[in-house]
Structure formats: C-alpha cells, structure tokens
Amino acid sequence: MGPIEVIYSTIAIMIALVGVARGYARELGNTLVIMAAIFLLTFQESLILNLFSRTGQRVFSIAGDQSDLLNFFLSTVFTLLFISIVFASYSGRVFAFASFGGRPAGPPHGLIISLLVGLLNGYLIAGTLWYYQDKFNYPLQRFGLIRLPLTATGEAIVELLPQRIFDSPVYWMVPVAVLLIFLVRG
C-alpha cells in the first residue's frame, strides 16, 4: 500500500464523486448527520472508550498487557459506530433536503456546489476513519494495510482531521443548527 494520505484521499475523492452524482440536495442531509455523528462520538469519546474497553476485557478476554489488541478492538468499534451512522444517513430518507422540498440549482453552479458539498462529506468521512486509526496507533498496520511512519504531508494532514480542527466538538453543532433551520423554514 502507498502512503496513508493517498489511501484516505482516494476514499474522500470517491465520496465526493458520489456526492456529485447524487446532487447536493441529497448530500446536505448526509452532511448534517455526519457532523452530528462526529459531535456525538467526540463529545462522548471517553464514555464510549471506557464502556468498550471494559467490554473488550470482559467479553473478549483482552488482557491489560495486550494493548495492541485492545487498540484494534476500540478502533474497530469507533469505526463501525461511525460507519453505521453514515450508512444509515445514506440509506434512509431522514433529513433528505430533496424530500423536504427543493431541487438543486442547475449547472454549472449546482455542479460546483455538489462537488464542494461532496468534498466536505469526503473529508468528514475519510478524515474520521483516519482519526480513529491515528488515535489508536494505526492498528491496521498489523495487516499491512497502512505503511508507517507518516510522511511530512501525512503529519500535516493529521492535525487537520475533523476531530482536531476545532477546540471543542460543540463547534460542529453550529453548522448542524443552521442547516436544521434551513430545513424547517417555510
């Protein structure tokens, strides 16, 4: 595998292209759910961490000195939680702006907005997946899926992951609140 930033950038670009294909009227609903998910998982991070650390130790008999295994378990749990929320947002009708009324603008500005919103969703999803690898010391490297150490670019990007750009996860609720206001107006 190549440098980690190439892997996650590819994921982000693919999500952005999906966003362009679906149109921003649909993608905005996903943006809202993804940002809420980032807020929830970051805000309650220590709680989830404690809960699943105990679960790992008791249910899967992960001993205290098996930190690599515990990290792998925790990163998988956080990743699965996040992916489940993202999947639900893509498969469900909840918060779909298109369902509440409104058609996207035509090209070219409609296309540009779709691309920007798609890129934002790509950044949020790929960035969050990367964050849970970085937080738990890259457990996927044991399968040879990730090559360490990080490049200089990778180290710079790690500081700009969604969970790290704001001082508090509460910041993520500002755009969520604004989007909700737009959703329910008229």
Distance between CA atoms of residues 24 and 104, nearest Å: 7
Residue 21 is a binding residue for other proteins (CB under 8 A): no
Half-sphere exposure of 121 (CA within 13 A, CB side): 30
SS3 138: coil
Residue 113 is a binding residue for other proteins (CB under 8 A): yes
Residue 155 is a binding residue for other proteins (CB under 8 A): no
Half-sphere exposure of 146 (CA within 13 A, CB side): 18
CB of 34 to other proteins, least distance (A): 12
Residue 105 is a binding residue for other proteins (CB under 8 A): yes
| Contact status, residue 37 vs residue 82, Cβ threshold 8 Å | yes
Q: Tell which one of 20, 120, 146, 157 touches other proteins (CB under 8 A).
A: 120
Lookup result for tokens 């996903």: 30
Q: Which of residues 73 and 130 has its CB atom nearest to other proteins in the complex?
A: 130
Distance between CA atoms of residues 91 and 128, nearest Å: 20
Lookup result for tokens 């309650």: 44
Q: Tell which one of 1, 54, 94, 100 touches other proteins (CB under 8 A).
A: 100
| Contact status, residue 3 vs residue 152, Cβ threshold 8 Å | no
Q: x/- contact string, 29-68, with other proteins (CB under 8 A)? A: --x-------------------------------------
Size of the site for other proteins (CB under 8 A): 34
Binding site for other proteins (CB under 8 A): 24-25, 28, 31, 97-110, 112-113, 116-117, 120, 165-167, 171, 174-175, 178-179, 182-183, 186
